[in-house]
Structure 1
Amino acid sequence: MKYRLITIEGNIGAGKTTLSTLLARKLNARLVLEEFSDNPFLPKFYADPDRYGFPLELFFMAERFKQLNELLKPDLFQQTTVSDYLFVKCLLFAKVTLTEQEYQLYKRLFDIIHQQLIHPDILVYLQAPVEKLQQNIHKRNRSYEQQIPDSYLQSIQQSYLSYIQQRKGVTLMVDASNANFLEDARHLQVITDALEKEYTDGIHRLSLP
């Protein structure tokens, strides 16, 4: 495998964790999954975002740094790593969640931490319409997610897309409108085949059958 660190990203409910888990299993890769359920502020944030946005994002940033910092340690048995998040997502979500004053303080901390981490060799971004995201969110049935408004998902989506447009490196933009990685083996195969190829920097688009 050409790519040592493969990162899967997408909006809430896009299928990041499912794809990452299946892909890591198929590639015999080390798997890094975001431990979002450990964030004690998450249910509180969805109930009162103005009050809990800043502690929510600080907790996420600290936990993501701790996880991704481990990738600096070599693994003798697994040469490839699959992660289901970018550290940059800290900034993308904070931009939507925080006030401007809070965001500027948060960004100062982010900039100090970010430079200490390694960056993915390739980013796979799962792009799905808000309707599909909401279907997936309702299907997985996490109680604190059930009232996420469409407007919030749209803002997060736009934040990702704006970042990807100016991102340096290789991005595979996957149309995940009909993605079903668990039940349709062809969808996983499309991603696996794509990761065997070399790409120039920029955005490369993939469709699923």
Structure 2
Amino acid sequence: MEGDKMSVIVLAGMIGAGKSTYTTFISEEFKSKAFYEQVVENPILENFYADPQRWAFSLQIFFLNTRFRSIKQALVHRHNVLDRSIYEDALFTKINYEEGNMSEAEMILYTDLLDNMMEELQDIPKKAPDLLIYLRGSLDTHLERIKKRGRPFEQVEGNSGLLDYYTKLHSRYDDWFNAYDKSPTLVIDIDSVDLEREEDRIKVMKEIKNALKTHSI
């Protein structure tokens, strides 16, 4: 990212894809600002995992609000990377609705709020990211990474309902990505790429730079 042109990169992918790791890596390489999803500071997330029917709507509103704030800041900032963006948010909400964790009235309210927020983004001179990077992998890879990072409330052992939730979410991500049309995209296969290996870091950065160059960013 040379010169004064503002560039916005967003990461996308299921829980456990490594979005925060990639965000740190990319932001350090490009000396850009990193925007991270609120997990540690999230007062609702752990409650959601314990009782999704009670907390799903509150969690989705929390994430919608924080992601809207982040994308607004990102679209007027110089160079930056977001580890998850508002563009994925509706997928999580729709699945929670389908699973019976949200009422129809809550889904309608959420959708109306999201539509209003997306309309407001159209008033910002820079209306969308320059590149979305989809971290795509098998369900087993995601589950292994969830286990490795060790957040107790995310673990599937003894929680068949949570495994079902992850399985359904994973099965829907390709459809979400194929329908995404806000910006150019790049897919990284996380089954075969490990940022702990220097050769993979070099390969990934080359792919990102090539994608930015291809789209004249």
- The answer as to 2:86 corresponding to 1:87 is yes
The one of 113, 117, 135 aligned to 1:126: 135
Q: Paired residue for 1:54? A: 57
- The answer as to 2:11 corresponding to 1:11 is no
- The answer as to 2:117 corresponding to 1:113 is yes
**Length, aligned pairs only:** 195
RMSD (Å), alpha carbons: 2.0
Post-superposition shift, 1:179?
A: 2.9
**Contiguous gaps of at least 5 residues in structure 1:** 201-209
The one of 35, 40, 43 aligned to 2:38: 35
Q: Paired residue for 1:207? A: none
* 4+ residue segments displaced more than 4 Å: none
Task: Report the Cα distance in structure 2 between the residues aligned to 1:121 and 1:130, rounded to whole angstroms.
Answer: 28
Q: Paired residue for 2:124? A: none
Q: Paired residue for 2:73? A: 70
**Contiguous gaps of at least 5 residues in structure 2:** 122-126
Identity of aligned residues (%): 28
Q: Paired residue for 1:162? A: 175
Task: Report the Cα distance in structure 2 between the residues aligned to 1:199 and 1:73, rounded to whole angstroms.
Answer: 23
Query: TM-score normalized by structure 1?
Result: 0.85
Moved more, 161-170 or 142-151: 142-151
Note if contact 1:126-1:175 (Cα within 8 Å) is conserved in structure 2.
yes
Q: Paired residue for 1:152? A: 165
Bigger proportion of residues as helix: 2
Post-superposition shift, 1:37?
A: 2.3
User: CA separation of 1:186/1:150 partners in 2, compared to 1, >3 Å: closer, same or farther?
Assistant: farther
Note if contact 1:23-1:188 (Cα within 8 Å) is conserved in structure 2.
no
Query: TM-score normalized by structure 2?
Result: 0.82
Q: For 1:125, give the aligned amino acid.
A: Y
